[in-house]
Structure 1
Amino acid sequence: MLVVLIICTVLTVILTVLPLSKQTHWVVRSMDFPRLQIVILIVFLLVAIIFFLDEQLPLTLILIAANVLCLIWQLWWILPYTIFWRQEVKLSKEDHPKRNLSIITFNVLTPNRNAEALIELVNKHQPDILVTLESDQWWENQLRVLEADMPYTVKYPLDNLYGMHVYSRLALHDQEIKFLVEEDVPSIHASIELQTGDKVRAHFLHPAPPSPTENTESAERDAELIVIARSVEKSNQPVLVTGDLNDVAWSSTTRLFRKISGLLDPRIGRGMFNTFHAKYPFLRWPLDHLFHSDHFTLRSIQRLPSIGSDHFPLFTSLAFTPTKGATQEGIEADAEDYNRTKEITNKKGVNVDDVPKPNEKL
């Protein structure tokens, strides 16, 4: 038992320390994902150490100390995504339908053929915007029935797992499809016109993940997220960024994105809203995101039921309340953060001027 506990503790320390590295190899960056699972492992280890080992032995104290330090560090990253943290986005107490903006973001999983279930979800929740990721021509054909109520669309079907579609009840302007980092990974950019006439700058993203089967490093994903953050950083417009970012909410890259962009995360203080993996409850983390500027407050956010994909749909409803939302604060960047953003974007040769700025000229 002692040997097993020592090995498990060493493994826990390695899993905790690896993400501290700036290395972008997928093995290192994948350790950003299972922080909640590591916390659970540490708790079990501490219970086992206390139960099976003599607490007076120096080795026992070392094992306890190592696990406690790892536990504190892991909790520092994930606690903001629990009800024990101060909410970053205020709950809207107003009900002005014309000032509301609701979105379903959903990675459909290309081989998934349960389009009817998605159509039923859209009919039930009546979102203003539906964003689909991994949608190919088959999915486009099936979802065509939605266009009767959601006539404004941007479509880019692909069979490489990076197709994207946007369906909207609200008018879309300045639509552009860009390949910011990789030539086969698109992003959609548009201006959403609310019923009040106010326009929202929107970016819909699905960067490729670091993995042994796709990009061996996270450099491509990181560059796309950070170049978007740099683009919206100084914008006074209402801004929305959503999609399957192939990064967890608590990673250093997503945290850097929040710092540089100044955008808010409505999950802070409310929950993790783990959208992946739908089929394996113990291997779940928040991969699908929605960030917004302080022009908005939150009406509701919820993870919708599984409908055949490896992702759950994410439904978010916002209220356009720029006066009341102005008191909301995210996290601020420092000089080191800005230096890191330059390293990330320079590494892949991406330029902030390549990012469309919908509605900026108006």
Structure 2
Amino acid sequence: MGMEIALTLLTALLVLTTVLPVWRHPHWLVRGWDFPRLQLAVFAVVLLVVNLCFFQAWGLFVLALACLCWHLWWILPYTRLWRCEVNFAKGDDVNRRLRVITANVLTPNRRADALIKQVHAFHADVLVTLESDAWWQSQLDTLVRDMPYTLKCPLDNLYGMHVYSRFALEETSVEFLIEDDVPSMHALLVLPCGERVRMHFLHPAPPSPTENPESAERDAELILVARSVEGSTQPLIVTGDLNDVAWSATTRLFRKISGLLDPRVGRGMFNTFHADYPFMRWPLDHIFHSHHFTLHKIQRLPSIGSDHFALYTELYLEPMASQKHNGLQPEPEDETWAQEIIQEKQVNVHDVPKPGK
């Protein structure tokens, strides 16, 4: 009897944590359950096996199975079982290639040498760092010889940002779109072929008991940028630590509104956080791009001592756009939700720079 009660309570817990994010309430206790969908799916499988082998409590079995199916619906696009959203690159013109490393370095981490080695090993064209302060800037400035174009915003509050680039950066700006101490960076990158790429580098604050109690600020920044790039005909990239998982409803909303593509779809999860706990990892570091690009490679890099792994992405700018219909399409309710998110924080889409316009 005691085991049956335990199974009932555990199934009830699974149902509760599965249903909570559907509520869309911005509190971290609700939004936080978007993150461990993979872990909850494994938990559901364990409950199903235990139930089937020892209890045959079919009502509980059906509940656990429904939860498993729901989590798989969100997770499966980030496995090889799904159709790739971004086509594999066939071109080999090095002047149209762009190699990006996105790295949350963890401010107190002192393994700058490890990250610099990765930049050299992968011949990165662009390095964007999150949580980088003045000490990190002093270390990363050794890259300036090869990557002379920079954007710098060293901060001691875990929201410093830096960009180092081999290619020219034009119309650069550092903005504080939602919160006065959380920056974002914006630029127009000039490829060797002469084509210009609009780039946005983001690191919104997460919903958590130690940061923001609600996800409203994070969600507003993501949707604000999504609105600003919506309908753009420019080659465009958004990257950074978005403090939101690839399979959340808000990231999905960002993709729908922006029209940008996710190169991970059909290829893998590329879980970048937490580097120290393999059983508690999810994809927090992202790169999204317009249909102008195809993909040579995307890879999670080895540890640099941070709680995040760096993400390496090698994109190829196609001479002709060929992926216009591969992404997600917004529904009327998505437009309504996006407008509600922006209105709640009383921000204006025109506050987001539009380099190249």
Query: 1:83 corresponds to which residue?
Result: 80
Question: Residue 4 of structure 2: which of 2, 5, 8 is its match?
Answer: 2
What is the match of residue 116 of structure 1? 113
Partners of 1:154 and 1:339 lie apart in 2 by: 35
> Is 1:74 the counterpart of 2:71 in the alignment?
yes
Cross-structure match for 1:196: 193
Deviations 1:114-147 (A, max 9, x none): 0111111111001110000000000000111100
CA contact (8 A) 1:263 1:330 kept: yes
Deviation per CA, 1:61-104: give whole Å up to 9, x if none. Answer: 10110011111111000100000000000001221100001100
Matched, 1:176 2:173: yes
Unaligned 5+ segments in structure 2 are none
Secondary structure of 2:320's counterpart equals helix
Deviation at 1:203, TM superposition (A): 0.2
Q: RMSD of the alignment, in Å?
A: 0.8
What SS class does the counterpart of residue 308 from structure 2 fall into?
coil
Contact 1:88 1:328 in 2 (8 A): no
Identical columns (%): 61
User: C-alpha distance in 2, partners of 1:328/1:126?
Assistant: 31
* 1:299 paired to 2:296: yes
Task: Indicate whether 1:340 and 2:337 are aligned.
Answer: yes
Q: CA deviation at 1:334?
A: 1.3
Secondary structure at the aligned position of 1:323 is classed as coil
Structure-to-structure mapping, 1:271-286, within 5 angstroms:
271-286=268-283
Q: CA deviation at 1:328?
A: 4.8
Q: Any conservation in 2 of the 1:296–1:322 contact (CA below 8 Å)? A: no
- Paired residues in the alignment total 355
How far off its partner does 1:325 sit? Answer: 2.9
Paired amino acid for 2:145: A
Partner Cα separation in structure 2 for residue 258 and residue 6 of structure 1: 37
In 2: Cα distance, 1:348 partner to 1:325 partner? 36
User: Which amino acid counterpart does residue 125 of structure 2 have in structure 1?
Assistant: D
- Unpaired segments ≥5 residues, structure 1: none
Query: Displacement, 1:205?
Result: 0.1
Provide the C-alpha distance between the structure 1 equivalents of 2:160 and 2:323, rounded to a whole number of angstroms: 35
Does the CA-based 8 Å contact 1:90-1:328 persist in structure 2?
Answer: no
In 2: Cα distance, 1:9 partner to 1:326 partner: 42
Equivalent of 1:225 in 209, 216, 222: 222
The match for 1:211 is: 208
Deviation, structure 1 residue 350: 1.1
Which residue of 27, 30, 33 corresponds with 1:28? Answer: 30
Native 8 Å contact 1:229 1:258 kept in 2: yes
Change (3 A) 1:334 1:328: closer
Report the equivalent of 1:352: 349
What SS does structure 1 have at the residue aligned with 2:330?
coil
- Give the Cα separation in 2 of the matches to 1:351 and 1:131: 26
SS in 2 for 1:20: helix
TM-score, structure 1 length as denominator? 0.97
The separation in 2 between residues aligned to 1:305 and 1:183, in whole angstroms, is 33
Structure 1 position 326, deviation (Å): 3.5
Q: Which deviations, in whole Å up to 9, do the C-alpha atoms of 1:272-317 show, x marking residues without a partner?
A: 0000000000000000000000000000000000110000000000
Query: 2:86 touches 2:323 (CA, 8 Å); kept in 1?
Result: no
**What is the match of residue 233 of structure 2?**
236
Check conservation: 2:150, 2:165, Cα contact below 8 A: yes
Preserved contact between residue 222 and residue 344 of structure 1 (Cα < 8 Å): yes
| Paired AA for residue 315 in structure 1 | Y
Q: In structure 2, how many angstroms separate the alpha carbons of the residues matched to 1:328 and 1:304? A: 30
**What's the TM-score, normalizing by structure 2?**
0.98
